[in-house]
Each structure stands twice: as structure tokens, then as C-alpha cells.
Structure 1
Amino acid sequence: MGKPHVLMVPFPVQGHVIPMFELAYCLAKHRIRTTIVNTEIVHHRLLNSTSALDDSIRLVSVPDGLESGERQIPGKLMEAVCRVMPVKIEELIREIGGCSAEDKVSCIVYDQSLGRIQQVAERMGIGSVAFLPAAAALLVLGFNIPKLIQDGIIDDQGNPLTDKAVQFAATMPIMSPSDFVWHRLKIASLQKLLFHIMTENNTPTESADWLICNSVLDLEPGAFTMAPQILPIGPLLATNNRPAHSAGGHFWQQEYECLEWLDRQPPCSVIYVAFGSSVMLKKAHVKELALGLELANRPFLWVVRPEAIDGADDWEEFLERVAGRGRIIGWAPQQRVLEHPSTACFISHCGWNSTLESVSSGVPMLCWPYFADQFINQSYVCDIWKVGLRLEEDGANGIVASEEINRKIDRLLGDGAFRGRALHLKGKVWSSAREGGHSHENLSKFINWIKK
């Protein structure tokens, strides 16, 4: 009997592709073949940046159904992928199955946001696995949309009807209705589209054979109590077995030279700054952040994607002034940076991958969320786990001022309780990932199901 063959379908953005790759490495360790399906554009980016892949992992591509100019229109990619991807996946499964019996797909692991793929699996008689790369709290929010409407918190289009904060369970994030994931997209058409997708996906998500999540029971006990059908198998970064310098689904080349720079810094001294793959910093934000880092007068490592900033006044002068203690790079091996003993804290947009990596490394955070579920994750960090602080915007202009950044850095690093709680949480996370731990047991059961 040949190895099981799993088709894996991430949503085509960086924050969703990376954890799917991490899961693929986990499966490869157990002799399970995977084929990861990406849109053509993502596929080519991965081929350009991927330095090592397990022999059991294959990459293929399908069209996203868009003309080149349409990809710049807000919401077009989301709408097209949800509509086109299930059709292309069904065609691909038939094509693969026609090649040989050994290549036949055993099951599909798909991003939970692509709920229509569950219906494809059902029609074709193969196993379906919904994979949530975000916090379980995000899906609990989605499951509770009907109740939020019934209780008059939102209308049937997802618009807030009150500013009263919502907390579904004692250990879950405290959310203002204006912070609900769809509302934080800011553009009305995008809000409506995401709200519709989340509502539509509830039924197929609960109909999947498995609903797995890149999270940990001890991080979200309230969420997993409210939705026990969601099984935590994370953090995948702690349970995978990928090569040390493999790309792991990154869209850009990781600059490992920064680790040598970190080696030369004192322990717990470096401020690590990174805002993920999607955030575009405005000129005023860049200026205040740069001034804040300068005021802090500490070593810092700042990830600045070339396309991620809309220019900045006096940028070259800033680089000259901080040349002795600041390092600017294009893309970091983030997990390695956060695990490094020189890293003191993380200024982050609070994407779930970044949040999970920071918690798993015992590194306290300064939170600067921009959109979507980042505000949910910020509440976990600041309100529930108490391992970080919010960076508050100036009410007059919506900018986080340099003085606020400097003040919060001093407060975070001056109070050892933040790192103490972060290290305590790190211990719980790793305990869950090790043999006998809750996530490890769930992952083992899942893998055994695939093999059978």
C-alpha cells in the first residue's frame, strides 16, 4: 500500500500559506505525501524563495481567475479565490486520480475560509479537513454571528448597532463590535464580502471530517470550550521537522545574516520590529516609529519590506544616526529571531503567526494592529495573557507618536512581570506540543486518521 496523499489548499496570502507549509512538514515526517495548491502568482513567488523542500511535498498551481489589473481592486482576490478555487481543485483531483491509483488523493486539507471546498470533497467521496490558521476565537466569532444579530449587537449585514464590548467567555478576547474582523477591513465592499463569507462558511466548516486549528488549548481555553469541535494542533512551528534554513512557504528570501548581528548584541537588549506581509506603513507612521526607536536608545532589528512604506522624510539621515545600533532588513527568519537570547521585545501588527511565534518564544509584545483579526489577537496579548501593551494612537491624527513608542518600550522592558508571564506561557505552549501534550495528541490522532 502506498503513502497517503493529501491535497492542501491555503488561502493565497502569506499569513495563511506559512502555517499550511508547517503542517505539510509535520505530515512529511510521518511519510504522508502532500501536494500544496497555490494560485499561479503565489506559486511562482514560492519557487523563487524556497531553498529546501521535503521530497514528500509537491507544489502545483491553479489560476486565480483574475486579470492582472483586477488584483489591485480591494476584495477582488478574495471573491475570485472563493469562487474559482473550488472548481479548479475539483478539476485537479480528477486529473491527479487519472494518473495512477497511487497518486489518488486521500483527503483535502483546505483553509477554513474556502468552505466550498468541503462540498467538493463530499461530492468526490474523499476526506475533508478544515484548517484554521488563525486563533480559534476568530471562528467562535463567526459561529456566533446569528446570535449577535439576534441580540442586536450587529445588523444582518454585520454593521455594529452598539459600542458595548463583547466577550464570549472569560478567557476570550474583549471585542468592541467595531473591532469585529470584517468591520476592521474599513472598505465597505470588503466588509460586506468577508461578513458574507464567514456566515456562509459556518455550515461547511462544521460538516468537515476534521476541524483543526494552529493554536493551543492553554492559550484559548474559553474558545475551545465554546467550540469543542475545533481541535488545536499548534503551535505548528514547535511540532514540525522542517530543515533549519527551509523557506517554509515564505514569499521572500529570509536574511539569515541578521542572526550573526544578533549574536553580537547583549542578552534581552534588542527591539524586534516587524509588521508581517500585508501592512503598508504611511509616511507619518514610519517617521514616528523611526523617531521612537531612536528615542529608546536601544539596539533594534527592523523588518522593512521594500514595498511596505510610502516613503519617509529624512530616512537616510535616520539610518546614519542609528547605524551603530540599528539593523534594517527586508525579510527575517522570524522564528529564529524571536528565539534568539538577544531579543527583548517584539513590536508587531499582531497577526496570528507573529503572535503565536512570540508567545512560543517567551517574548513580550508591543501591539500595533491594523486590520482584520489583529485586534482580536491584541486583546489576547494585552487583556487575557497580559504579555504585552497596546501602542495607543493620538486621537487627533490617528498616529502612534514617537513618545508613546518610547514610553511603552520603557514600561514593557522595565517591568519584569511581562517577560515572566511570557516565559510561563511559553512553557505551557511547548508542553502541549511535546509528546503527551494536548496538541501533540490531537495531531497524532489526525495523522493516524489520514493513514487509515
Structure 2
Amino acid sequence: MSPPRPHFLVLTYPLQGHIAPALRLARRLLAVAPDVLVTFSTTEAAHQRLFPAKQEEEDLNGGGGRLEFIPFSDGTEGGYGGGSDVGAFNAYMASFHAAGPRSVGALVDALAARGRPVSRVVYTLMLPWAADVARGRGVPSALYWIQPVAVFAVYHHYFHGYAGAVAEHYRRGDPSFVVELPGLAPLAVGDLPTFLTESTDPANYFHAVFLTFRDLFDTLDREAPAATVLINSCQELEVGALAAVGPHDVLPIGPVLPAGDETSIFKQDDAKYMEWLDTKPASSVVYVSFGSLATMAREQLDELHLGLEEGRRPYLLVVRKDNKATLAEAEAEMGERLENGVVVEWCDQVRVLSHAAVGCFVTHCGWNSVAESVASGVPMVGVPKVSEQSMNARLVEREWRTGVRGRVDDGGVLRAAELRRCVEEVMGDGAAAAEVRRRAREWKRVAAEAMGNGGSSYCNLVAFVDGARSSN
């Protein structure tokens, strides 16, 4: 009797920024090993948005049933609806952490009863309990860290003796104070993840996220002899940081990009924006998107619109649905049309960044966006806000030198003049801009080689799959 096929249960938190890399990894596992099975699972509400009208019943991946989509329960009927109510968010997180383990445990048991036993549980950042569920059933687990290695190292050291030093520097109120962590270059406290500075306050909206990260690193410490951590980066990008990650078995397996059209919880505009890009010269378009969570105040929209129009370069601007009415009002009051650009509610970002017409990406520096931009060879203008975005912007500007950071005013607004200055620094005719573009092309080559057959990321993922196969 042949041994069971390696079967990975990939679990993720119900945000687009978590779902996208998790689903890409699920498909990547299928691509590197023809005998692998994968079950992808997120919460019921997110699952319904991903696969409306029972679309999941179709063979979405063309893999003959190798990939299944089965949701788990977060204890709510419709998931978390967003908003600024701290109490509501805390209540959702409590429900997620209570109901999630029970539902995922039942899922693992049901898969085994069907003759599809799970070989390895893979979980993203906000599910520390997933490792406990797996351990309780004798199944190995691995964390899929969907941020860079350097950020993982910062979290590791924070929760292993450096929380007090970070807190002391943060209390001084000067974001330029320097924090020194083992194996890492000195970091300004303002560049550290906000979940380790602002969110340690119980009154902060994201305090529940800080507690979840704390639990996550407690979970990793319980894994013996060392936890397996897959990271959506490549070792060539982060050689120094890899030496600072502690005792864990860290495997860079990225940057993982979609293999084709990408499934999203957001409805995309029609693809006319791609036809518009086709009409533009090479490297001429400024692409602007601040990610799946960002909403912009009217003042920021006004400044973006003004800066992009006055820059006289063609631009593609992503404005979430809840901001579009505000933008229309701004246009009417200014008495202007979108003379040089196109505005969409959502788009296929990897397709856009891969288009020859795109010459610059103005981004919030979420890691998915940064990794996609690096893999596409597109220079960046970073405008970080929360979480690890400032760390990512620092990597872009100082480590890889593939972009610049836009400086916001005291109100957190990127002004039109600053936007124009930054775009010129990466798209202009000067020697410095040319060097940014050259380095962007070089890192694109490095990322492609890492993901290609025989590359470092490819070999790390194959080794991970082989480990699951041998443990069956």
C-alpha cells in the first residue's frame, strides 16, 4: 500500500493582505510537487466573498481536486465588519481565537475521516492557536510569515528581552531614537512595527493584534527543537537579517506571486485600465495604491490628485469604493477633470506592476506590495502608515535602494509637492534616478532566479515538501 500523499492545510486570517500570499503559497505547493494535496481555509465570511455563488465547487485550479477550499468558523455570522469601535474589534478577535481552534480541529478530523489526512498545517500570522491544534493531533505545523525576514527578527528580539528597551525609547516621544537589536542594523524607533510601539497600550485599537503576536512567539517557543518558519522573501534580499532570527528553522520561499488570475475578496474594475496602459510609453506611468485596508481623508485625496495632475505624467490611481464619492467632489470643486490619469476601485496589482508602461509605484509599503514591486523591477515611493510598513520602506530606501520615502506632514498627509519630488527622484533624468531604476532591475533578476527551478526559494520550498513527505 502506497503512503498517503503529502497534504498541506493552509490557514489564514480573513484579510486580503493575508489571503493573497496564503493562496499563492497553496498554488505554489502544487506547482513544485505533483503529488501534493492542499486544502485552503479562511473564515466563512471571507470564503463567501472569495467564491460567490458557490464558485468554489468548480475546479478552480485545474488540478483534478488537488486543491480544495473549505472554510472554518470564527464564531460569527458575517465576520468583522470593520469600523473604529475598539470594543467591537476586541469582541471579534476574542470570538476568532475561541471558535477558530474548535472549527479547525473539526476540519482536520473530517479530512482524516475522508481519507485525506493532513501532513502539515501551515498558518499565517494571526492564528497562533493553529500550531496547538496541529500538535494536539500529532501533525507538524509551520508558520508562514508574510512579512520580511528583518521584521520577523525584530519581533523575535522584542519578545525575547528587548521589550523594555523599545518601550523606553518610544516613551521619549522622538521617533529618531535608535534601537539596537542583535544582528540587525541600528533602527529608529519610528521604523519599528507600530504593533510593538503604539499598540502595546490596552486602549489602542490594535492592542488585540499586539497580544496575538505575543501569543504567536510564545507558540514558536513551544515548538521543539525549533519552529519551522516559511517567509515570503528570498535569502539574497535579506542575508544579514537571516543571521538574526534566533533558533528557528527559517526558510525564505518567495517572493511568491500568483500563477495566473488572482482570486480576491474585492471586486475588480473591468480590465480597461490594462488597455489604457497599453497606450502609454514604457516606464511612463505612476501607479498609486495604498492597499486593501487604507481609506483616505478628503485632504489626502486632494493632495494626491493635485500632485499627480501637476506632475503631468500619466497615472493609475486606486481609490477604494468608500473614497470614490469624495474624489468626485474634489474634482468638481477644483473644476478639473482627470486629464492625465485613470481612477479604479481595485485592480490586479501584479498585472499592473508587470506592465512595461509602469515606471513607479507609490505605495503604503505593505509587504505584499513591496515584494510584488521588487519582483516586477518597479521603483517605489513609500508612504508607510501602520504595522511593519515603515520597516519595509526602510529596506526599500536604505538596503536595496530601489526607491525613496515620501515625508508626510504633522497631520500624516503626503503633500502634492512632496509627491512630485519623490516621483521625480525615481522617474527623472538625473543620475540618482537612473541608479534607482538600475537597482530595481537587478533585484528583479535576483528574485526571479530565487524562484526559478534550482533557485534558493525554490529549493527551500521543495525541501519543506520533502520533509512533509518523509514524515507521512
Structure 1 33/219 Cα, relative in aligned 2: closer, same or farther at 3 Å? same
Shift of 1:67: 6.1
The verdict on how the C-alpha distance between 1:115 and 1:173 changes in structure 2, with shifts beyond 3 A counting, is: farther
Asked if 1:122 is matched to 2:135, the reply is yes
| Deviations 1:191-242 (CA, angstroms, capped at 9, x unpaired) | 43233222222132251752111011122222211116221000111xx6x3
Superposed, 1:106-185 pairs within 5 Å as 106-145=119-158, 146-150=160-164, 152-154=165-167, 160=171, 163=174, 164-168=177-181, 174-176=187-189, 179-182=192-195, 183=197
Deviates further, 304-313 or 23-32: 304-313
Matches within 5 A, 1:5-154: 5-29=7-31, 30-31=33-34, 32-48=36-52, 52-55=60-63, 56-66=66-76, 71-72=81-82, 73-74=85-86, 75-76=89-90, 77-98=92-113, 100=114, 102-145=115-158, 146-150=160-164, 152-154=165-167
Give 1:363 deviation, angstroms. 0.7
TM-score (norm 1): 0.89
Counterpart amino acid of residue 16 in structure 1: H
| Structure 2 CA distance for partners of 1:368 and 1:205, relative to 1, 3 Å | same
Partner of 1:399: 413
- What is the CA distance between 1:46 and its match in structure 2? 0.3
8 Å contact from structure 2 (residues 289, 363) kept in 1:
yes
Per-residue deviation at 1:53? 3.0
| Contact 1:171/1:384 (<8 A) preserved | no
User: TM-score, structure 2 length as denominator?
Assistant: 0.86
Q: Distance in 2 between matches of 1:5 and 1:23?
A: 13
Q: Find the aligned partners of 1:254 and 1:27 in 2 and give their Cα distance.
A: 29
1:357, distance to aligned residue in structure 2 (A): 0.5
1:367 maps to amino acid: G
User: Deviation at 1:275?
Assistant: 1.1
Partner of 1:447: 465
Pick aligned residue for 1:326 from 330, 335, 341: 341
Pair 1:301-2:319 in alignment: no
Matched, 1:365 2:369: no
Q: Which runs of 4+ in 1 moved over 6 A?
A: none
Matches of 1:134 and 1:70, distance apart in 2: 23
How does 1:291-440 map onto structure 2 within 5 Å? Answer: 291-308=306-323, 311-312=326-327, 314-317=329-332, 321-395=336-410, 397-414=411-428, 415-440=433-458
Distance, in Å, in 1 between the alignment partners of 2:96 and 2:141 is 18
Deviations 1:309-355 (A, max 9, x none): 67247434489845453111121111111111110100001000000
- Among 251, 256, 279, the residue aligned to 1:231: 251
Q: Distance in 2 between matches of 1:318 and 1:442?
A: 55
Q: CA deviation at 1:419?
A: 0.6
Structure 2: unaligned runs, 5 residues or longer: none
> How many residue pairs were aligned?
441
How far apart, in 2, do the equivalents of 1:251 and 1:346 lie? 20
**Deviates further, 344-353 or 61-70:** 61-70
Aligned letter for 1:35?
T
DSSP 3-state at the match of 2:394: helix
2:256 maps to a residue whose letter is: L
1:241-291 per-residue CA deviation (whole Å, 9 max, x = no partner) reads x3x33x244533364332221111011100001111001111111111010
Q: Is the 8 A contact 1:279 1:370 kept in 2?
A: no
- Contact 1:45/1:252 (<8 A) preserved: no
CA change 1:178–1:316 in 2 (3 A) is closer
RMSD between aligned alpha carbons? 2.7
